[in-house]
Amino acid sequence: MKYIVECKNVWKVYNPESSAEVKALRGINMKIKKGEFISIMGSSGSGKSTLLHCIGCLDTPTKGKIYIDGVDVSKLNDDELALVRRYKIGFVFQFFNLVPSLTALENVELPMVFAGIPKNERRKRAIQLLEIVGLGKRLYHHPNQLSGGEQQRVAIARALANDPELILADEPTGNLDSKSGAEVMKVFKTLNKKFGKTIVIVTHDPLVAKTTKRIVKIKDGKIIGGE
Amino acid sequence: MFEFELEALKITWNSISQRKLRSTLTVIGIAIGIAAIISLVSISEGLKQTITKQLQQFGANKIVVMPFASTSTTSSFASSYFTEDDVKKVEKVSGVELVVPFLLKTVSVEYKGEKELIMVAGIEPEKTKNLFENIQGYELESGSFLRKNDKTSVILGNAVAHDMFSEEVEVGDKIKIGDKTFRVKGILKRVGNRLDDNTIVVPMNPLREITGEQKEITMMMVEAKNAEEVEKVAERIRKKLEDYWKKGTFTVLTTRQLAERIKIITSAMTIFLGGIAAISLIVAGIGIANTMLMSVMEKTREIGIMKAIGATNKDVLKIFLIESILLSIIGGIVGCGIGILGSKSLNGVSMVQGGVPLRTSVPPSLIAFGLGFSAIVGIIFGLWPAYKAATLNPVEALRYE
């Protein structure tokens, strides 16, 4: 399978056939090859986050098909979607979204807990991942004891926990200063180059987009360039 | 195998201990309910055992014959009675070893100028030794039992001698019952049963003279020759008396039958008291549901995160169910502790002054029931909040502030 993501005429309509109807996505066609490092750019309200949620199996399209690693996910039920998220996809969010009551190590372990990986193995891998993102000395810190950049790197380590092929990042630098943002982008670059991960970054920041190898532009729910 | 559940337990323990006040209040609710169940059930069970034990002391070969239907109220107790003829009939029934007829009356008793109304039991004097030592198993504290032809001696219940009058009554003292004067010949050891401790035993004939009751017999205590045959003997007595008495106007009960009747009453009491306690647990369960709903709301974002990183609906459901079960089981453990203390503190206490001391105990099965019940409350009242958490839309949950 050459493409990790394939979108075919994807529509997402909120509150269909009512006065509050919003057509967030209007017939998206897009293919992402395995090992690509791409950004989806657009202004706020352009539908870029909705697209990411649909690709990330957090949401299902109203119409059209999305294939993840060759599997049509637009027809899967809640539990099947959860399994795709668990094993195929790693998420990185703008606001880090770490569980505040857990340490950095435990946060990275969490996806492996859901995957039923034994404790020892889990711990070993989580430590490895935190070392890769440069936080080998911050294992037992809670999120509120970490800087924004550090939290985001924990989140990246967590996204890698079950070794997914696809990393989806929603404005990963949107809440960081430029230095931390640059560090985070460096980590993504390494993951793409060294570990061959497919990385999709949603952003409105041209500087971030420039770091990636391909830029897909989206406006009013339609792709207007880079597809 | 329970890798996930164990990990979930750790996560929920974290979240419970982070909200100490709310968790504590929820736990207290459950603890009160469980404590109430444990102590109330153990008290009523203790009561049942105390009564049963007393009846066992009484001996298995005893039969009580009463001149009223066992279902009737005490009002007929006074209006209906046996006569000496009935006693003779019962004495002739085969298998009967001994019949002790009683005449029970409440009479004014005077000691050193002080007057009290006291229950007086008229018994044929030669039967007192046999009755107390062999049938009842009571012992004398001082003095001796009555002898045949004793007409002016009495035996005092322990409380009559020590508590009833401002001055203690001793063996050899004179005491006035009705218009006759008697000498105290013996004092019984404390039995622990209000009725017996507060009774004076008087020879039958002098009591008849005092009360003017010439034929009346209040009840009969019958001893069977053979403990194995006691039911048969009771049946024979019943048959015999039916020749003279209308069916259902008298009662013949063996010790075992008496014990069974009392068991039915005390079991009903156990269920009733337990039921009241169970209601308090339902209230506590609603408290759990409330706490869990708040927890789900507060953790909406966390639920979104968990779903995003691969938690299935079932995983989320489990995590929240474990949280509510954990809360309720902690409550259950605390409640068991309080219940055991409550039950212990009532151990040895009498319901009425001078009554039989209550023996309460908390059997392991009751504790297991308490813990199990608390867990069930946790499951039932945690299910809906957990279901709500499990079915949250991940995108909306992640957006939740």
Chain A residues in contact with B315 by the CB 8 A cut-off are 82, 114
Q: Give A77→chain B minimum CA distance, Å.
A: 11
Query: Strand A71-72's sheet: what is its strand order?
Result: A22-33, A3-14, A63-68, A71-72
Query: By a Cβ cutoff of 8 Å, what residues of chain B touch chain A?
Result: 3-4, 7-8, 11, 14-15, 18, 301-302, 304-315, 394-395, 398
Q: Which residues pair with B153 in a beta bridge?
A: B183
pLDDT at site A227: 66
At B76, is the pLDDT very low, low, confident or very high (cuts 50, 70, 90)? very low
**Which residues lie closer than 8 Å to B245 by C-beta, 6 or more apart?**
B67
Contacts of B314 in chain A (CB under 8 A): 79
Tokens representing residue B126 in the block: 């030669």
- Distance CA(B99)–CA(B92), nearest Å, equals 10
**Could you give all domains of chain A from N- to C-terminal order, each with its CATH number?**
3-225 (3.40.50.300)
Which residues of B fall within a CB distance of 8 Å from A47?
A: none
Q: Decide: B46 and B360 in contact? Cβ < 8 Å.
A: yes
Does residue B21 have a pLDDT over 80?
yes
- Residue B331 pLDDT: 93
Q: How far is B273 from chain A (nearest CA, A)?
A: 43
Query: Could you give the 3-state DSSP secondary structure of residue A71?
Result: strand
Q: Does A67 touch chain B (CB under 8 A)?
A: no
Q: What is the pLDDT of residues B280-333, one digit of tens each?
A: 888 888 888 888 888 889 889 999 999 999 999 999 999 999 999 999 999 999
CB pair distance less than 8 Å for A85 and B15: no
φ/ψ of residue B316, rounded to 5: -65, -45
Q: Is B17 left (phi over 0), alpha (psi -120 to 50) or beta?
A: alpha
From residue A25, alpha-carbon distances to A18, A51, A77, A168, B210 in Å are 17, 7, 21, 18, 108
Q: Please check the confidence at residue A165 and state whether its pLDDT lies above 60.
A: yes
User: Scanning every residue of chain B, which has its alpha carbon at the shortest distance from the alpha carbon of A51?
Assistant: B395
- Burial bucket for residue B1 (CB in 10 Å: 0-12, 13-18, 19+): exposed
Interface test with A, best of B299, B302, B309 (most A CBs within 10 A): B309
A-B CB pairs within 8 A amount to: 76
Identify which of A86, A93, A97 has the shortest CB distance to residue B310: A86
Distance (Å, whole) CA B372 – CA B366: 10
If we measure between CA atoms, which residue out of A101, A163, A102 comes closest to residue A132?
Answer: A163
ipTM of the complex: 0.91
B313 and A78 within 8 Å at the Cβ level: the answer is yes
Q: Please state, in angstroms and rounded to a whole number, the distance separating the CA atoms of residues B383 and B121.
A: 63
Q: Residue B160 corresponds to which tokens in the numbers above?
A: 């009559």
Please tell me if residue A115 touches chain B, with a CB cutoff of 8 Å: yes
Q: What is d(CA A37, CA A39) in angstroms, rounded to the nearest whole number?
A: 7
Over the stretch A85-140, which tens digit does the pLDDT of each residue have? 999 999 999 999 999 889 999 999 999 999 989 999 999 999 999 999 999 999 99
Quote the pLDDT of residue B75: 45
pLDDT-derived band at B148 (thresholds 50, 70, 90) equals confident
Task: Specify which residues A203 forms β-bridges with.
Answer: A41
Q: Tens of pLDDT along B97-124?
A: 888 888 888 889 999 888 988 889 998 8
Residue A127 contacts residue A58 (beta carbons within 8 Å): no
* Helix (H) or strand (E) segment spanning residue A214: strand A214-219
Segment holding A24, helix H or strand E:
strand A22-33
Among all residues of chain B, which has the CA nearest to that of A49? Answer: B395
B85-94: pLDDT as tens digits: 888 888 888 8
